[in-house]
Amino acid sequence: MGDSFILGEVHRLIGSADDLAWLKEMIDSRRNVPGANGGIRWVAYKDHATGEPRLIRDRRRLEDRRRRDEAIATLLNVGTLISSSLDLDRVIASAMEALSRVIRAEASSIILIDRDELVITEATGPMAGVVRGLRFERSKGIAGWVIDNAQPLIVHDVRSDARWFPDVDLSSDFSTLSILCAPLRARGRLLGVVELLNKEGDQRFDEWDLSLIQVFANQAGIALDNARLHREALERQRIETELALAARIQRGLLPGTLPQPEGVEVAGMSVACEEVAGDYYDVIPLCEGRFGLAIADVSGKGIPAALLMSSVRTALYAEVRGDLPLPEVMSRMNDLLYREGSGTFATCVYAVLDPRTYGLKVANAGHNFPFLLRTDGTCERLRSTGLPLGLLPTGTIPFTDLEGALHPGDSLILYTDGVPEASRGDQEQFGEARLEELVCDNRELSADALRQRIYDEVLTFIGDARRSDDITVMVLKAF
C-alpha cells in the first residue's frame, strides 16, 4: 500500500533506538501484518503531514504532555514550598533543584542586587559551594543585561554572546554553555535574577522553559521580598525590645526623688529620646553634710549605652566616698572605663558643694561647661578641662578642678549636649548662646521652674522635628 513502509524505513525516519524498540513491541502486539516479502509492514500509521509514524508521534505527544503536567505540578509544589516558609535559606535551594530537574538544567543560581553589585546568594549544581557568595559589578554579564532591561532571556551559546561575563566560570572551574535567565520582581522592585545553566543532553532551552522560569521567578521574587519584610519586622521588634530594656536600665539608674540638702534647692530631669542614649544625673550625699552633683553623657545608643551608664555610676559611687580630690576621682573613673576596653567613653561633670560655706569645687571630663548665674547679673562658664572618661589612658591630659563659692540666690546649671544640639527642621541648633540668654533672663526662677523652662523652650524650638538625643538638665539654687 502507498502509505505502508518496512521497519527499516521507520528506523531511518525516527532515528532513535529507544523509539524503534518501543515501535517493534507495539507492532508485535497490535499490528503484526505480514508483507509481500515476508517482512513486517505497518498499515495506515504514517502521518501524511510530517511523514512521522503516528504511534511515535502520539507517544511523543503523550511524553510532552506528561512532562508539562509534571512541570506544572512541580511549580505548584515549589510555590507552596517557598510561600509557606519565611526561612528561605532552608527552602529556596530545594525549590531551585526541583526547577532544574523539570527543565533538565545542569545548574542554577539566584543573583540578587546589593547596591552597585550583584551577589550569588543561592546556587545548585556541581560548583554551588564555590560560586555561592561571589560578587561582581551590577552591569556585568547576562544577569546584568537582564536586570538593566528587566526582561527574560535565552542565550544558546554564551561564548558567541558579547554580554557573556566569564569570570564566574573562571573562579569555579565550571563551563557554562547556555543560559536561561529571568528577572526577580516584587511589589514594583527589581530584586535580581534567577538563572538556569546548560540544558542536559545537548538540548536547547525553549519558550516552554522560559515560561516555566518566569513563573518560578514571580513566585520566588514575592517570597524573597516577604522574607525581607519579615526580617525587617523581626529587626524592628528586636530594636524595640532592646530600647525598652535600655530605657528600664536607664530609669533604674536615675534618681527618683532628689535629696534636698540644707540651704539649697536641687531639681533635675532626664527625658530620653526615641533611641535611648545614655544620660545620667545624680545627687550624692557625702560626709560632713557635703554633697556631690554629677551629670554624664555616655557614647552610643540602646543597651550598650545603658550598660556604660551603669559603669559610670558604679565607678562614681566607688570613688567619691573616699573624700578624694576631684581630679583624682576623675582619674580613677577614667582608669576603670579605659580598662574595660569597649572603645566607648563618657563625658562628665562632677561638683561638690558644702552648704555650710557654699564652697564649690567642679571637675570636668570633656563635658559641656556649666553655667553659674550670679545675683549681680553676671553669668560665668565653669571651664575646667579634661578628656572624656575611658577615651585615653590617665595622664594623657591631666584632670583639673575649679574652686569657688555660691552666694544666696546664685544658681548652677548642668546639662547634657542634648540641650544645645537640639535642632529643628531647618537643622538650626538651639545652641549655647541661646541657652545662656535663656538662663540669664530667668535667673529669678526657682530651681524646679528654671529646669522646666529650659526643657519647654527646647521643645518649642524644635517643634515637630524628631529628637536625636536625650535632654538632661540639673539646676541648683542657693537660698
3-class DSSP state of 281: strand
Q: With 0-12 CB in 10 A as exposed, 13-18 as middle and 19+ as buried, what is 158?
A: buried
Same domain membership, residue 258 and residue 109: no
Asked whether residue 433 is assigned to any structural domain, the reply reads yes
Same domain membership, residue 97 and residue 26: no
Asked whether residue 420 is assigned to any structural domain, the reply reads yes
Q: With 0-12 CB in 10 A as exposed, 13-18 as middle and 19+ as buried, what is 193?
A: buried
pLDDT tens readout for residues 440-469: 999 999 999 999 999 999 999 999 988 888
What pLDDT shows up at residue 40?
A: 44
Distance, in Å, from the CA atom of 325 to the CA atom of 397, rounded to the nearest integer, reads 17
Asked whether residue 298 is assigned to any structural domain, the reply reads yes
Beta pairing class for 379-381 and 371-373: antiparallel
Position 221: which residue type? G
What pLDDT shows up at residue 50?
A: 53
Last residue of a domain, one of 164, 196, 230: 230
Nearest to 56 by CA among 30, 18, 28: 18
Same domain membership, residue 125 and residue 30: no
Same domain membership, residue 264 and residue 213: no
Range of the structural domain that residue 31 is part of: 5-58
The tally of domains found in the chain comes to 3
Tens-digit pLDDT profile for the chain (479 aa)? 444 444 444 444 444 455 555 555 555 544 444 445 544 444 444 554 555 555 555 555 666 666 666 666 666 666 666 666 666 666 677 778 888 888 899 999 999 999 999 999 999 999 999 999 999 999 999 999 999 999 999 999 999 999 999 999 998 889 999 999 999 998 889 999 999 999 998 899 999 899 888 888 888 888 888 888 888 998 989 888 877 887 777 778 889 889 999 899 999 999 887 666 688 999 999 988 899 999 999 988 777 888 888 889 988 998 887 778 999 999 999 998 898 877 789 999 999 999 889 999 999 999 999 999 999 889 999 998 889 999 998 877 789 999 999 999 999 999 999 999 999 988 899 999 999 999 999 999 999 999 999 999 999 999 998 888 889 999 999 98
Same domain membership, residue 335 and residue 431: yes
Same domain membership, residue 271 and residue 220: no
Phi, psi of 400 (to 5 degrees): -130, 170
Same domain membership, residue 317 and residue 220: no
What is the grid cell recorded at 384? 575646667
What is the grid cell recorded at 44? 495506515
Same domain membership, residue 143 and residue 35: no
160: domain CATH number is 3.30.450.40
What pLDDT shows up at residue 42?
A: 45
pTM score above 0.85:
no
Asked whether residue 68 is assigned to any structural domain, the reply reads no
Phi, psi of 382 (to 5 degrees): -85, 100
What pLDDT shows up at residue 2?
A: 40
What pLDDT shows up at residue 69?
A: 61
Same domain membership, residue 166 and residue 40: no
What pLDDT shows up at residue 7?
A: 44
| Residue 293: CB atoms within 10 Å | 24
262: domain CATH number is 3.60.40.10
Number of H helices, E strands in the chain: 12, 19
Same domain membership, residue 472 and residue 351: yes
Asked whether residue 101 is assigned to any structural domain, the reply reads yes
Q: What end-to-end distance do the CA atoms of the chain give, in Å?
A: 129
Asked whether residue 264 is assigned to any structural domain, the reply reads yes
Last residue of a domain, one of 43, 58, 73: 58
What pLDDT shows up at residue 6?
A: 41
Asked whether residue 158 is assigned to any structural domain, the reply reads yes
Phi, psi of 153 (to 5 degrees): -155, 140
Distance, in Å, from the CA atom of 180 to the CA atom of 158, rounded to the nearest integer, reads 11
What pLDDT shows up at residue 231?
A: 85
